[in-house]
Amino acid sequence: MLKEDSAPCFPASLNAISKVLIIIIDLIQKLYHNIKLQQFQTTI
């Protein structure tokens, strides 16, 4: 009975976690790109 109750919640929480991960990865990529640009500008 406990497994049946928790089963429908699992995909929803997994979906929320994946959305958060996508947002975090996007932010990291933007930060990394900005850092690369700053390093490139300082070398010039």
The runs of H, that is alpha helices, within the chain are 2-6, 9-43
Residue 1 is assigned to a structural domain of this protein: no
User: What is the span of the domain harbouring residue 30?
Assistant: 14-43
Instruction: Report the pLDDT value the prediction gives residue 5, as an integer from 0 to 100.
Output: 59
34-43 pLDDT, tens digit per residue, is 988 888 777 6
Nearest alpha-carbon partner for 31 in 23, 20, 5: 23
Is the pTM higher than 0.75? The answer reads no
Q: Is residue 2 a part of any domain in this protein?
A: no
Q: Is residue 9, in this structure, part of any structural domain at all?
A: no
Q: Is 3 domain-assigned?
A: no
26 domain-assigned: yes
- Residue 22 in any domain: the answer is yes
Counted domains in the chain: 1
